[in-house]
């Protein structure tokens, strides 16, 4: 191991007391806290039955949702495999528990911190036959230790924004990443593939975005129907995955239009639309509630009750229910794109059949937004005021809204297939099972054509 890796490990050791304190504070009252801390140090407890284990790492909520179509497909095609899905954040772990709690062949845990000893212990405990890293969660010791132990790693659904690419290039002298440790890379787009190759990745093909293959779970749809019955015919606008600085701007825009809607005699509905705000991070739920109160708006919290007909705002202070909020909404305004946060994924709204509006800052999903705008499936505007006015127009002109929904369905259908292409990418490192060849997965990878 080079000197730089020794220094890197020493920094992790120095950070150990702070990490331990942070973990204890975050997991206060959790009876499984001790086990969770052991997982951070690479101690993974797996059932004893003899099974090949595939390790899938999905750092947080977005990556976990993206992994869901792939996890379902692996369970169908390789039913004898055990899937070990690891996360870095509590919200990622909770999302996975909601998705896969019913399946005993799927084990969830926290991923180890990136000290060489903890990573080596994790690999020795889990003994994966294959590791699949979702998107771009790249850690130096993960790559090095997997390569040393002969564990093939695949980077799946990989995306790399221009900003992240520049950051990797700027700091690679400090601790170079062994991109060649990935035996295969499935990139979301041609631009992602080009940037990954420039950093040293090999065997890069464009497989597409797994999130195009996502469809809402029946439980999310049922929950949305329950909410709709309680709310009635009142139209609903959801501000989803909102970030710091965004809610205040939307509340200011909403106040003016709410008054206008309330005073209009020709409005189609008896009550003005309900604004549903779903903050991206749970630690901001209370902060956003105080902000709504300061604006003098009547509101309730999802954790307390369903909205009352006279409420102006419903605060979505719950985790794992984003698709239910999308399925409930008549219009979805995608947060993270109105301040410089890089945006959130608009495909989730499209999958729920809800037309999305995004702001000017969509760097993290640049190609998806560009393609969606060109296909008239996504609408991009500059300001919260414009977004609210567009939501108003769609509510008052349902034919225009229906046209955007139809374009969204066509857009999704045209870009689906990333799951099958990713399965083909993984096939050389997975054991064939009876009937495998007949299910159409054997054979070479068929990458998506790259745009030039």
Whether 114 and 142 have beta carbons less than 8 Å apart is answered as yes
Active-site amino acid positions: 63
Q: Which of 125, 65, 70, 106 is nearest to 89 (CA)?
A: 65
Instruction: Provide the pLDDT for residue 440.
Output: 34
- List phi, psi (to 5°) of 191: -65, -40
Q: How far is 403 from 358, CA to CA, in rounded Å?
A: 17
Instruction: Provide the pLDDT for residue 255.
Output: 85
Q: Which of 404, 391, 402 is nearest to 273 (CA)?
A: 391
Instruction: Provide the pairing of β-strand 331-334 with 356-358.
Output: parallel
How far separated are the first and last CA of the chain, in Å rounded?
40
Residues 6+ apart with CB under 8 A from 353: 327, 405, 408, 409
Q: How far is 313 from 253, CA to CA, in rounded Å?
A: 13
**Domain range summary for the chain, segments of one domain joined by +:** 3-208+418-431, 218-414
Model confidence over 204-247: pLDDT tens digits? 999 999 999 998 889 999 999 999 998 988 999 999 999 999 99
Q: How far is 82 from 403, CA to CA, in rounded Å?
A: 43
β-sheet bridge partners, residue 356: 332
- List phi, psi (to 5°) of 450: -90, 135
Alpha helices, H only, 309-435: 322-328, 347-351, 366-374, 384-396, 398-415, 418-426
Three-class DSSP category at 111: coil
| Topology at the third CATH level for domain 218-414 | Rossmann fold (3.40.50)
Give pTM, 2 decimals. 0.85
Residues 6+ apart with CB under 8 A from 279: 241, 242, 243, 247, 285, 288, 316, 317, 335
Q: What angle do CA 89, 168, 201 make, to 5 degrees?
A: 95
Q: At what angle do helices 246-263 and 384-396 cross, to 10 degrees?
A: 40
Instruction: Provide the pLDDT for residue 441.
Output: 33
Instruction: Provide the pLDDT for residue 271.
Output: 67
Which class would CATH give 3-208+418-431?
A: alpha beta
Model confidence over 246-285: pLDDT tens digits? 999 999 999 877 777 666 665 555 567 899 999 999 999 9
Instruction: Provide the pLDDT for residue 438.
Output: 33
Q: Which residue has the tokens 């790693």?
A: 153
| 10-residue mean pLDDT series, the chain (452 residues) | 85 92 82 84 85 94 94 95 95 91 93 96 95 92 93 95 88 78 94 94 95 90 94 94 96 83 61 91 95 94 90 92 95 97 94 97 92 98 96 94 97 96 95 46 44 42
Q: At what angle do helices 246-263 and 285-294 cross, to 10 degrees?
A: 40
Q: Which residue has the tokens 């007949």?
A: 438
Q: Residue 43: is it exposed, middle or buried by C-beta count within 10 angstroms (0-12/13-18/19+)?
A: middle
Instruction: Provide the pLDDT for residue 124.
Output: 95
Dig out the tokens for 391 from the structure.
Answer: 């939501």
Residues 6+ apart with CB under 8 A from 53: 46, 81, 82, 83, 84, 126, 127, 128, 129
Whether 238 and 328 have beta carbons less than 8 Å apart is answered as yes
Q: How far is 414 from 435, CA to CA, in rounded Å?
A: 29
Whether 348 and 323 have beta carbons less than 8 Å apart is answered as yes
Q: Which of 276, 267, 365 is nearest to 314 (CA)?
A: 276
């Amino acid at each position: 191991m080079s000197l730089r890796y020794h220094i890197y490990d020493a920094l992790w050791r120095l950070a150990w007391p702070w990490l331990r304190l942070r973990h204890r504070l975050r997991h206060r009252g959790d009876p499984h806290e001790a086990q969770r801390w052991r997982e951070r140090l690479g101690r993974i407890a797996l059932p004893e039955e003899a099974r090949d284990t595939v390790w899938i790492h999905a750092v947080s909520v977005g990556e976990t949702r993206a992994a869901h179509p792939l996890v379902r497909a692996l369970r169908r095609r390789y039913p004898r495999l055990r899937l070990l899905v690891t996360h870095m954040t509590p919200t990622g772990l909770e999302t996975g528990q909601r998705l896969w709690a019913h399946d005993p062949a799927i084990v969830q845990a926290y991923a180890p911190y990136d000290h060489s000893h903890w990573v080596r212990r994790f690999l020795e405990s889990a003994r994966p036959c294959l590791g699949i890293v979702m998107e771009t969660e790249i850690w130096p010791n993960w790559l090095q230790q997997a390569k040393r132990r002969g564990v093939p790693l695949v980077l799946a659904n990989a995306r790399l924004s221009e900003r992240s690419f520049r950051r990797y290039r700027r700091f690679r002298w400090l601790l170079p990443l062994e991109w060649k440790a990935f035996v295969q890379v499935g990139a979301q787009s041609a631009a992602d593939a080009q940037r990954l190759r420039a950093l040293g990745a090999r065997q890069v093909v464009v497989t597409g975005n797994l999130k195009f293959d996502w469809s809402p779970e029946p439980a999310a749809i049922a929950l949305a129907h329950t909410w709709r019955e309680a709310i009635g015919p009142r139209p609903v606008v959801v501000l989803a995955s909102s970030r710091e600085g965004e809610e205040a701007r939307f509340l200011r825009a909403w106040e003016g239009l709410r008054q206008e809607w309330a005073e209009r005699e020709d409005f189609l509905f008896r009550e003005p639309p309900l604004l549903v705000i779903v903050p991206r991070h749970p630690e901001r739920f209370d902060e956003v509630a105080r902000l709504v109160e300061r604006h003098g708006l009547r509101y309730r919290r999802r954790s307390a009750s369903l909205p009352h007909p006279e409420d102006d705002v419903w605060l979505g202070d719950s985790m794992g229910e984003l698709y239910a909020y999308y399925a409930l909404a008549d219009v979805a305004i995608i947060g993270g794109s109105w301040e410089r946060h890089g945006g959130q994924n608009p495909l989730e709204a499209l999958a729920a059949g809800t037309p999305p509006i995004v702001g000017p800052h969509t760097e993290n999903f640049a190609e998806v937004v560009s393609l969606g705008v060109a296909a008239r499936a996504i609408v991009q505007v500059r300001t919260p005021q414009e977004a609210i006015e567009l939501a108003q127009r769609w509510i008052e002109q349902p034919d225009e809204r229906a046209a955007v929904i139809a374009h969204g369905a066509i857009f999704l259908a045209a870009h689906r297939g990333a799951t099958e292409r990713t399965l083909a990418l993984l096939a050389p490192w997975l054991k064939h099972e009876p009937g495998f060849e007949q299910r159409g997965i054997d054979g070479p990878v068929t990458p998506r054509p790259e745009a030039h």
